[in-house]
């Protein structure tokens, strides 16, 4: 596709359930980021993938959060045993190895009830 695609766009889940959020980066982009944004707040870094390097997981808030990137392309962010404080918009971005510009998807709005 032309841009970064995230799915689903909205997700409502019950507390304690697991959720998976998907990100399709721009074709050929080697870097992929996940950020979390609470209502009216800034961008909270979660995890960063760059090529075949080990991912930078320093932003993951707890061991309930994990992410993988298969084949250097699609990425899945998994939140286990969701809590109400996990409610936020989860944003994915990708960038080319040659440039520093990061392109964002529209985000997945997660609501934990």
Closest to another protein by CB, 14 or 27: 27
- Give CA separation, 65 vs 20, 29, 58, 95, 100, in Å: 10, 23, 11, 23, 26
Site for another protein in 56-95 (CB under 8 A): 56, 91, 93, 95
Q: How many CB atoms lie within 10 A of CB 47?
A: 21
Residue 108 CB, shortest distance to another protein, in Å, is 10
Q: How far is the CB of 81 from another protein (least distance, A)?
A: 27
Residue 78 to residue 26: CA distance in whole angstroms:
21
Q: Is 2 in the site for another protein (CB under 8 A)?
A: no
| HSE-CB of 2 using CA atoms within 13 angstroms | 0
Site size toward another protein (CB under 8 A) is 29
Applying CB under 8 A, the span of 13-21, 70-78, 79-87, 98-106 interacting with another protein comes to 98-106
| Cα 86 to Cα 5: distance, rounded to the nearest angstrom | 21
Pattern 19-58, another protein, x by CB under 8 A? -----------xx-x-x----xxxx-x--x-xx----x--
């Amino acid at each position: 596709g032309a841009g970064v695609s995230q799915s689903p766009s909205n997700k409502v889940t019950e507390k304690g359930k697991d959720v998976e959020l998907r990100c399709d980066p721009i074709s050929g982009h080697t870097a992929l980021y996940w950020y979390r944004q609470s209502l009216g707040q800034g961008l909270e870094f979660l995890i960063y993938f760059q090529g075949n390097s080990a991912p930078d997981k320093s932003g993951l808030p707890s061991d309930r959060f994990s992410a993988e990137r298969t084949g250097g392309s699609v990425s899945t962010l998994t939140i286990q045993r969701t809590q109400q404080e996990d409610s936020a918009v989860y944003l994915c971005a990708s960038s080319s190895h040659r440039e520093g510009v990061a392109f964002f998807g529209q985000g997945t709005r997660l609501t934990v009830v």
